[in-house]
Amino acid sequence: MKKTLIRLAGLGALAGVLIFAQNAARNPAGPAARRGHSIQRMVNYLNLTPDQQAQAKQIMAGARMESAPLRQQMKQNREALASAIKSGNDAQIDQITKAEAPVMAQMAAIRAHAFEKIYATLTPEQKAKADTMRQHFHGGRRG
């Protein structure tokens, strides 16, 4: 019986390590690399000129600076939520999740305004292509 439990624990640990390794292999560099990758995909898909690329980078950098306090607030909320979950504090969980909604809305607005500014720099052909960009990039994932 003891050997069976030890084997099961060992298999569970091995499975956990394999899952972690698989996720790390898929996403080795973290959020900054993903952000850069998605911007590069947009640049390539829309065939942006060097001037448009520079403008897009400047717009996105401004949006990152504007959203920095919000990202910090979201981080603090995640940490507080984890603590509230561990302590079983239902009232605090409700309070934190309600406070998170306006922060997430502000982040979405900043992102939308940044893409609005980038969209304004596009040619009519690029705008037509941009209108199908979300379907092109996410079409295989949903449906």
* Helix axes 50-87 and 31-46, enclosed angle (nearest 10): 150
For residue 26, is it within any domain? no
- Three-class SS of residue 47? coil
- Return the exposure string of 69-91: e unless at least 16 CB atoms fall within 10 Å of the residue's CB, then b: ebeebeeebeebbeebeeeeeee
Domain count, the chain: 1
For residue 114, is it within any domain? yes
For the ranges 23-27, 53-57, 127-131, which has the lowest average pLDDT? 23-27
For residue 73, is it within any domain? yes
Q: How high is the pLDDT of residue 74?
A: 93
Q: How high is the pLDDT of residue 20?
A: 47
pLDDT tens digits, one per residue of 34-65:
555 777 888 888 899 999 999 999 999 999 99
Domain that holds residue 63: 47-133
pTM for this entry = 0.65
CATH of the domain at 122: 1.20.120
For residue 31, is it within any domain? no
What are the backbone angles phi and psi of residue 5, rounded to the nearest 5°? -65, -40
